[in-house]
Amino acid sequence: MWIPMLGLTALPHVGGFYGGYITRRQVKSWYTTLNKPSWRPPNAAFPVVWTALYTGMGYGSYLVWKELGGFTKDSVVPLGLYGLQLALNWAWTPIFFGAHKIKLALIEVVMLTGTVAATMVSWYPVSRTATLFMVPYLGWLCLATTLNYCIWRDNPETKKD
């Protein structure tokens, strides 16, 4: 049982490493040119927070997987929603930092936040502990959504597209 636990716990970090690669290049150039609210967390907080959030959500997915007996017909909705939110999570960074599409990133993060809430609803009857691992993630997404909105509001995108 160690391999599934380690694999599912590590899985969210895969997209996180790629996102970190994209972010590192942009945070010192393009991102510095944006108007940002004074209350935003410092740049150094993001990798620390995301490491904890990815680990928690990954371990939560393992708990759900284990409780439902692996990848079974009973796990399609809870793990399917989890997979969808993970894909949306991984997509945000290339949209925001890679393509510089602030408005599209805002729409995407709203969809992500809703999908995380739906994932939590589907997990609750299976494992309350797994659901609790998602609470800080949902809270951080609310902050991230608000931050994305403020950056979009305060930085009109050029009409090149």
Of the pLDDT bands very low, low, confident and very high (cuts 50, 70, 90), residue 158 is: low
Q: Is residue 131 part of a domain?
A: yes
pLDDT reading at 140 higher than 60: yes
Q: Is the dihedral of CA 28, 15, 78, 4 positive or negative?
A: negative
Residue 142 lies in a domain: yes
Domain count within the chain: 1
Q: Dig out the tokens for 111 from the structure.
A: 């969809």
- Banded pLDDT at 28 (limits 50, 70, 90): confident
CA distance 117 to 138: 7
Q: What is the pTM of this model?
A: 0.92
- Within-domain flag for 117: yes
Is 121 among the domain residues?
A: yes
- Say if 76 falls within a structural domain: yes
Kindly state whether residue 101 falls inside one of the protein's structural domains.
yes
Domain limits for position 111: 2-154
pLDDT band of residue 161 (cuts 50, 70, 90) is: very low
Inside any domain, residue 87: yes
Q: Is residue 160 part of a domain?
A: no
The C-alpha atoms of residue 104 and residue 110 are separated, in whole angstroms, by: 10
pLDDT of residue 138: 98
The enclosing domain of 117 has a CATH number of 1.20.1260.100
Give the mean model confidence (pLDDT) for residues 117-141: 98
User: Shortest CA distance to 102 belongs to which of 139, 145, 142?
Assistant: 145
Task: Give 43's Cβ-side CA count (13 Å radius).
Answer: 10
- Please report, in angstroms and rounded to a whole number, the separation of the first and last CA atoms in the chain: 50
Q: Which long-range contacts (CB under 8 A, 24 or more apart) does 94-99 make?
A: 94/19, 94/22, 96/148, 97/19, 97/22, 97/23, 97/25, 97/26, 97/27, 97/30, 97/31, 98/22, 98/26
